[in-house]
Structure 1
Amino acid sequence: MSANTIGAPGPISCTVSRAARELGLQRVEFDIAVRLGRIRTVPDEGGGGGRRVERTEIDRLRAQDGFPDTLRERVRAVGTVEGAALMNIPAGRFTRLARLGMLVPVHHYLNRYRAVVWLYPAEELRAFTSAAEHAHLLKGRTPETLRGQLEAGVDLRARNWRGRHLGFLLRQAEGAWDRAGALAAFLAPGDIADVVKDPYERAHLNRFRPAPPGRAAPGSPSAHLAERIMTAQDTDETEWLRGELARTVGEARAVSPAPRPTARPAARRPLSAARPIPPMARTVTRPNDAGKRPASSSAPPAGGPGHHRQRPARGLRAWLRRGPRAALEPMRL
């Protein structure tokens, strides 16, 4: 190619699958990187409703020192055993810290035993361990107040995950209806109907309500689990979401009201002109000019349905037709 030749411009964005391949990340790692804000995405302008990654963003990440190892380490997520080893504490203490809400998960999945496995950003675990104010939580006896909460059954892992995921959805929201849909994603249908009473607004809101993350098949155990974890459980959490949803829907209503069917007047059918009634079929018989019966091959045979029996002559005509013998007999009147 000569110096004056201009090549065809490349695409300004690509799908998330292609971006993950070019960045050397698995799809789960890519999704975690997006939720953590390590990779920026943009809406799909083609109307598909998905997300895309701009070419400039891919070039920025690939230009970082130590790529791709540094990027993969920044988006690395670990489970309980690996996280405890990273923090140099027993797995039981790690679980207690997570249940108390001090370690916030970023992802979850269902293992083969149908148990929930929580994943935590390794970068955040290292930061928690290095903080001086957390030293008493990593060694020694757990404080009495925290032990009481654990004995009462406190488990904030799902709630903290919802809070992190809500923040991620709100950062991606483009408008008021998008923000309202993000809030509605964490409420049960009954709570949504109680807050948004207009059926047309609820139908419009559902268009912006994101589904739980993951690619679980509809109706599968993983899908039911994702829906249960996605829905707020505590009363104070539910009430806060309801209040924010009512406020955000009010803002969205003022900016862009939900579409509703327009009342169309009933179309009146025009009075059609009276249609002429066709004449009934009838047979017209022309009279014979000479008084003779026309010869026709279609004439009904004698005795047929069209034949009329001739009545016997009576009176004077019958007497005259009998001939000379009639003169010798008296005429019957």
Structure 2
Amino acid sequence: MAVRELVAAETLGPQRAREALGLEPVEFEVAVELGEVRTSPAAGGRRRVTQAEVDRLRAEEGFPQLLRERLRTAGSADGADLICITRDRFTKLAKGGLLQPVRWYVNRYRAVVWLYSVDEIRWFAASNPALLDGRLPVGLRQALDEGEDHRARGWRARRVEQLRRDAVDDWEEAAVWTALLGPENAAEAVPDIYERAYLRKLKPGLPPGITGPYASQELVDATVTADHPDEIAYARFALAHAMGRARARHPAPRPGHGLEPVPEGAPAPGAAQRERPRRRWLRLLCRS
């Protein structure tokens, strides 16, 4: 049997994997984003799920109920009710970076609605009982009074971690960082237009997941692009390291090799399709 046929026989496409796991489409998307369902690279930049991964999850005790429970999400009101605090306190904890969103969408009032992992909300409440009652810590109150809001940064850090985890090589990892930085900061960090074109081809932007019919492109771009000085500085630092490794392995394609520079203002290829435990850098990024 050829290698390609062997790979195809041992992996499942997203829909077949989802059906085999008994998950709804949104549940499967959350499972992949949280790393509950591990995927493998396939032809054309797509991701597939190995049969072994499906078998592993199906063999877990309490399947599929416990798996679906780990994938539940809640907004601020339901999340607050879950741990018996007010919605205002829940929002303050989230703005302070102590609870990180897993998804978001835009409602009919053009406001971003953040969704949180129910499993993580419960873990936070069990681990930090002192933060559920009484006055919040002085540092947190001061940061909130100054307008700090870590929710978008927390979501971006989580999304970047997922994409870095799935990157197949250093160029793809570098593409994740340029997607986070956005065109202007990426142009400063990567002056070579052919390298930028290659990176934008690999990852035109951070996939937002669900946005809803009310999301404008401006709002999506503002939510998925780094905007805090510390976040931008870290992304540029990480990008420089990834680019160093990528260039050492092989240069970006040049004219005559199937790639022409894409104008910075032009829609990137695939832009229309945009849609567990935290790492150390993610915690530092969201709480700095």
Smaller-chain TM-score bracket: 0.7 to 0.9
Residues 51-101 of structure 1: CA deviation (Å, up to 9, x unaligned): 111122112212222221111001111111111111111111000000000
Q: Matches of 2:71 and 2:204 in 1, distance apart?
A: 23
Q: Deviations over 1:113-138 (max 9, x none)?
A: 2221111111111111111xx22211
Q: Which residue of 1 aligns with 2:142?
A: 148
CA apart distance, 1:215: 6.0
How far residue 222 of structure 1 moved from its aligned partner, in angstroms, is: 4.8
Letter in 2 for 1:68: P
Deviations 1:284-312 (A, max 9, x none): xxxxxxxxxxxxxxxxxxxxxxxxxxxxx
CA shift in 2, pair 1:11/1:223, >3 Å: farther
Corresponding position of 1:83: 79
Q: Which of 14, 35, 38 is the aligned partner of 2:36?
A: 38
Q: 1:232 maps to which residue?
A: 226
Q: TM-score, normalised by structure 2?
A: 0.81
Work out the CA distance in 1 between the residues paired with 2:40 and 2:217: 26
Q: CA deviation at 1:208?
A: 1.7
Q: Does 1:197 align with 2:191?
A: yes
Deviation at 1:144, TM superposition (A): 2.9
CA 1:43–1:222 in 2, change beyond 3 Å: closer, same or farther? Answer: farther
Q: C-alpha separation between the residues in 2 aligned to 1:160 and 1:142?
A: 20
Q: Report if the CA contact (8 A) 1:109-1:222 is conserved.
A: no
Relative contact order, higher structure (CA 8 A, sep 6+): 2
Q: SS of the counterpart of 1:11?
A: helix
Farther-moved stretch of structure 1 (88-97 vs 29-38) = 29-38
Match of 2:24 among 14, 18, 26: 26
**SS of the residue aligned with 2:44?**
coil
From 103, 106, 119, the equivalent of 1:107 is 103
**Could you tell me how far apart the structure 2 residues matched to 1:196 and 1:17 are?**
37
Aligned-pair Cα RMSD in Å: 2.1
Amino acid at match of 2:39: T
Structure 1 gap segments, 5+ residues each:
1-8, 264-333
**1:71 corresponds to:** 67
Q: Give unpaired runs (5+ residues) of structure 2.
A: 1-5, 258-288
Q: Report SS of the residue matched to 2:97.
A: coil
Conservation of the 8 A alpha-carbon contact between 1:23 and 1:62: yes
Query: Are 1:49 and 2:45 counterparts?
Result: yes
Structure 2 residue 132 is the aligned partner of structure 1 residue 138: yes
In the aligned structure 2, how far is the partner of 1:19 from the partner of 1:224?
Answer: 34
Deviations 1:4-29 (Å, cap 9, x if unpaired)? xxxxx993212112211221212221
Q: Which structure would you say has the larger Rg?
A: 1
SS state at 2:104 partner: strand
Inter-partner Cα distance in structure 1 for 2:216 and 2:9 = 36
Query: How many pairs were matched up?
Result: 250
- 2:261 corresponds in structure 1 to none
Which of the numbers 245, 250, 254 marks the counterpart of 1:256?
250
Describe the SS at the equivalent of 1:31: helix
- For normalisation by structure 1, the TM-score amounts to 0.70
Once residues 52 and 136 of structure 2 are traced to their aligned partners in structure 1, the CA distance between those partners, rounded to angstroms, is 48
Deviation for aligned residue 1:49: 1.7
Distance change in 2, residues 1:18/1:111 (3 Å): farther
After TM superposition, the structure 1 = structure 2 runs for residues 107-186 of structure 1, keeping only pairs within 5 Å, are: 107-131=103-127, 134-186=128-180
Kept in 1: contact 2:104–2:210 (CA 8 A): no
* Residues 192-220 of structure 1, C-alpha deviations (whole Å, 9 max, x = no match): 11111111111111122253233669x97
Q: 1:244 to 1:69 in 2, by over 3 A?
A: same
Indicate the residue corresponding to 1:295 in structure 2.
none
Measured after TM superposition, the shift of residue 258 of structure 1 is 1.0
| Secondary structure, aligned partner of 1:221 | coil
AA of the residue aligned to 2:40: V
Deviations along 1:232-271, whole A, 9 cap, x unmatched? 01112112212221221122111111121369xxxxxxxx
Higher helix share: 2
**Distance across 1 between alignment mates of 2:39 and 2:120:** 22
Which runs of 4 or more aligned residues in structure 1 lie more than 6 Å from their structure 2 counterparts after TM superposition? Answer: none
Write the mapping of 1:309-320 to structure 2, written as runs, cut at 5 A: none
Q: Tell me the amino acid that sits aligned with residue 96 of structure 1.
A: K
